Amino acid sequence: MVNEKQLRDEVKKLVSRDDVKYVIGYEQGTYGFQVTPSFAFTPEEAERFIFSPLCANNLSVYLMLEEKPPLRKGEKEDTRKVGLVVKGCDARAVVQILQEKGLKRESLVIIGVPCTGVIDPKKITVKFPHQIKPVDVREEGNHYVLTINGKNQKIPKDELLFEKCKQCEYPTPVIHDVLLGDEVKSTKKEEYKEIKTLEKKALKEKWEFWSKAFDRCIRCYACRNVCPLCYCKECIVDQLSPQWIYRSVNRSENTVWNLIRAYHLAGRCSGCGECERACPMNIPLTMLNKKIEKDIKELFQYVAGVNLEEKPLLAMFKPNDTEDTIL
């Protein structure tokens, strides 16, 4: 993991610049295994910044949440840059946003952190429930060392690691202005084992699997709110005229909502897993997104968020694309 002193020093340099507004990173949470987003406007505030295996959040979502109220008469727009600390999957989300012209590259300063995997908050909470005091976690080889109530506990990484991290092909950010530490090279390849197993099942079994999952949905929209690629000015579920999706919490409406969102992310999802992490009902949203990701790889040989110079999937065509879907 990254040297925290090096991280803080870099953030201090950035916020001292006249052309930088603030930097977004992580700081220690107030209890248990919580790590919270942090915003440094001054060099002093950079002292709060940390990076540990608990930094699971994808901070790129905050780039799209900044409020820009109407300018007063004679007032000029603040065009200063925003700094952002990114892991590999976070950087892919940034690339996708830039490809879609959601942001301009010159408006960002990206601090890349080569990542060897982060801890799944749900896994560690199950293993160590009711933990109130903040916990320090560090990586040591193939283990995590947890300091709980002054005592160290050594846990194999595989027991706590996010499933997405076990197949991560881009642990080093594909885009950055500053890279902290050495590159982490990946020899992993996403093999979609779970997806292939599900694909082999009968249609009835697939429907039963997803029906049970969508029955649990409470339509809280946490998946949408935490997703950096869900940045439409008005979401389809918020529209009342016309009303495309009813707000009823039932299988039919839940299914429509989850499928619409999944297809909205087709060719765009960076695989950060934030939707599933935020879901209070443990719906396997990553599996749904991975299924579409797999199909797009096979049909179009396209991977989202890895090449800034490439156009978004649905904004281009290739002469050799298959036309099987055209009626």
Q: What is the 3-state secondary structure (H, E, C) of 302-317?
A: CCCCCCCCCCCHHHCC
Q: What is the tens place of the pLDDT at every residue in 129-184? A: 888 888 889 999 899 999 888 889 899 999 999 999 998 999 999 999 999 988 99
Same domain assignment for residues 50 and 9 = yes
The total domain count for the chain is 2
Q: Is residue 11 part of a domain?
A: yes
Same domain assignment for residues 86 and 211 = no
For tokens 């029955």, the residue is: 215
Yes or no: say if 11 and 48 are a contact pair by the CB < 8 Å rule: no
Q: Is residue 184 part of a domain?
A: no
In the three-class reduction of DSSP (H, G, I as helix; E, B as strand; rest coil), residue 256 is classed as helix
Yes or no: say if 7 and 17 are a contact pair by the CB < 8 Å rule: no
Q: Is residue 41 part of a domain?
A: yes
Yes or no: say if 191 and 167 are a contact pair by the CB < 8 Å rule: yes
For tokens 């990701």, the residue is: 293
User: How far apart, in whole angstroms, are the C-alpha atoms of residue 103 and residue 302?
Assistant: 22
Same domain assignment for residues 222 and 98 = no
User: How far apart, in whole angstroms, are the C-alpha atoms of residue 289 and residue 286?
Assistant: 5
Same domain assignment for residues 239 and 202 = yes
pLDDT for position 139: 92
Yes or no: say if 62 and 32 are a contact pair by the CB < 8 Å rule: no
Same domain assignment for residues 22 and 55 = yes
Same domain assignment for residues 174 and 302 = no
pLDDT for position 122: 92
Instruction: Give every residue of the chain whose pLDDT is below 70, as ranges.
Output: 1, 321-322, 325-327
Name the phi and psi angles at 268, rounded to 5.
-130, -30
Q: Find all residues with CB under 8 Å of 34, minimum gap 6, and list them.
A: 54, 134
Residues recorded for the chain: 327
Yes or no: say if 313 and 267 are a contact pair by the CB < 8 Å rule: yes
Same domain assignment for residues 202 and 55 = no
Same domain assignment for residues 50 and 198 = no
Residue 84 lies in domain:
4-66+78-179
22-52 burial by CB neighbour count: b if 16+ within 10 A, else e? bbbbbbbeeebbebeebbbeeeebbebbbbb
Chain-centroid distance, C-alpha 266: 15
Peptide bond preceding 242 in cis form (omega within 30 of 0): yes
Same domain assignment for residues 225 and 162 = no
Q: Is residue 155 part of a domain?
A: yes
Same domain assignment for residues 306 and 200 = yes
Q: Are strands 49-50 and 81-86 parallel, antiparallel or unpaired?
A: unpaired
Q: Is residue 187 part of a domain?
A: no
pLDDT for position 326: 63
